C-alpha cells in the first residue's frame, strides 16, 4: 500500500485519493486537533480524508445565513443554533479574535463542551462516510493512559465504539503510539519507539517485533504549548496556533512570540524523553534490544520547522536507557496514526 499524494479540497474535508474503488477496512485517527481517516482502493493506493476537529457557534439571522450560503461556507443548523466546522471555524476564530470550540480536550471527548458529542459525530461522519460493506472493520486511535494525570480513556473509547457501531462499522481501538509503529517501522520488524505529538497529548509506544512493551501518554502537547505561549505573550491560543502553522524555524526563532513557542517546544520534548527514561527505569521483564532502535516522531505538533533538529539537541542532553540509531520524522507526520490504524485493519 503506497502513500501517493494528490491534494484536492472538498468544502471542509481535505481528501487525498486516486479515484479508484475503495476496498473494506479503514483507519481513523481521532485527534484533539485533527480527525484523519485512511482507507485504500483496488489500485493499492491510500485515500486520506482529514478535517480540523473544531467548531464555532455563530450569530443566527437571515443576513448571516445568506452570507454563508453566498460564500459557500459549510454550516450546520443544530437545535436552532448555527455552527461552522473544521478549517472555516479556525479561520473565523482568528478573524474575530475568538477561540474555536473543540469536541475534544486533552486527547479525549470534552466534558466541558455542551455540544461536543453532537459536533464530533458530524465531523467523524464527514470523513469516514458509509461502510463499504456491512460491519466494515475500522481501527480507531485512542490515547494511552497518561503518566501525569488521573484521566483514563474508558469513557472516550466507549463513546467512539458506540458512535462507529451506530454508523454500521465494526470498531476496534489502538493506541496512537502503536499505530505509529505499524505505519513507520515495517522495515525494522516493527521494533522501535513511536511518538505521536498531537494537539491534546503526546503518545508514546516502545515495541519489540510489533508487540508494545511500554506505552503511555502525557498531558503536554500542542495545546499545552499554545496555552502557555499565549499566556506569556498576551495573545489568544488560536493566534499562537496560527503563528506556528504559518511557518517557524525552531532553530532560528524571530520575535517574542516565536521565542516563546520554541521554549515550550523544547520543554515538551525534554519532558517526553524523560518520561520514556523513567518507564525503562521502573519496568521489569523488558526485552533486550539486539541492535540500535529508531525513534519516529509524528503528529501535527511535530510538523513545525526544525522539530527533528531540536529533538536531537534535547536527546543529546540526556542519558537514554537504550541505544538509538536514528531519530526521524514519519513519512507523513500528520497522517501516520491513521495509516497505522489502516495497516491493523488490513492485517485481519
- Which pLDDT tens digit goes with each residue over 233-252? 999 888 898 899 888 999 99
The Cα 38–Cα 199 span in angstroms is 19
The Cα 8–Cα 253 span in angstroms is 32
Answer for the pair 5, 23: CB distance below 8 angstroms, yes or no: no
Confidence of residue 10 (pLDDT cuts 50, 70, 90): very low
- Which pLDDT tens digit goes with each residue over 140-161? 999 999 999 888 889 999 999 9
Rounded to 10°, the helix 255-282/237-246 angle is 90
pTM of the model: 0.86
Identify the pLDDT of residue 5: 36
Buried b (16+ CB within 10 A) or exposed e, 157-171: bebbbebbeebebbb
Amino acid at each position: 500500500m503506497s502513500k501517493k499524494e494528490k491534494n484536492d479540497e472538498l468544502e471542509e474535508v481535505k481528501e487525498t485519493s486516486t479515484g479508484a474503488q475503495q476496498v473494506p477496512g479503514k483507519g481513523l485517527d481521532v485527534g484533539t486537533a485533527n480527525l484523519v481517516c485512511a482507507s485504500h482502493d483496488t489500485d493499492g493506493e491510500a485515500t486520506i480524508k482529514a478535517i480540523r476537529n473544531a467548531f464555532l457557534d455563530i450569530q443566527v439571522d437571515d443576513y448571516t445565513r445568506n452570507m454563508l450560503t453566498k460564500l459557500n461556507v459549510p454550516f450546520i443548523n443544530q437545535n436552532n443554533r448555527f455552527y461552522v466546522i473544521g478549517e472555516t471555524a479556525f479561520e473565523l476564530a482568528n478573524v474575530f479574535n475568538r477561540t474555536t470550540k473543540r469536541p475534544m480536550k486533552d486527547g479525549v471527548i470534552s466534558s466541558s463542551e455542551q455540544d461536543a458529542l453532537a459536533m464530533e459525530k458530524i465531523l467523524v461522519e464527514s470523513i469516514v462516510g458509509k461502510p463499504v460493506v456491512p460491519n466494515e472493520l475500522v481501527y480507531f486511535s485512542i490515547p494511552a493512559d497518561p503518566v501525569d494525570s488521573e484521566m483514563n480513556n474508558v469513557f472516550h473509547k466507549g463513546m467512539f465504539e458506540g458512535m462507529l457501531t451506530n454508523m454500521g462499522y465494526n470498531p476496534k481501538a489502538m493506541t496512537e503510539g502503536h499505530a505509529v509503529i505499524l505505519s513507520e517501522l515495517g522495515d525494522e520488524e516493527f521494533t522501535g519507539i513511536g511518538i505521536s505529538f498531537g494537539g491534546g497529548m503526546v503518545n508514546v509506544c516502545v515495541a519489540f517485533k510489533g508487540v508494545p512493551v511500554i506505552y503511555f501518554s502525557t498531558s503536554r502537547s500542542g495545546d499545552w504549548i499554545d496555552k502557555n505561549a499565549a499566556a506569556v505573550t498576551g495573545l489568544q491560543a488560536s493566534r499562537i496556533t496560527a503563528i506556528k502553522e504559518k511557518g517557524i524555524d525552531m532553530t532560528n526563532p524571530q520575535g517574542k512570540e516565536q521565542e516563546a513557542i520554541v521554549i515550550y517546544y523544547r520543554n515538551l520534548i525534554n519532558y517526553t524523553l524523560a518520561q520514556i527514561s523513567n518507564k525503562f527505569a521502573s519496568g521489569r521483564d523488558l526485552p533486550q534490544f539486539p541492535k540500535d532502535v529508531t525513534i519516529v516522531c509524528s503528529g501535527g505538533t511535530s510538523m513545525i520547522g526544525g522539530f527533528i533538529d531540536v529533538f536531537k539537541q534535547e536527546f543529546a542532553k540526556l542519558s537514554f536507557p537504550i541505544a538509538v540509531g536514528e531519530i526521524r520524522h514519519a513519512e507523513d507526520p500528520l497522517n501516520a496514526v491513521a495509516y497505522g490504524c489502516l495497516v491493523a485493519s488490513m492485517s485481519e
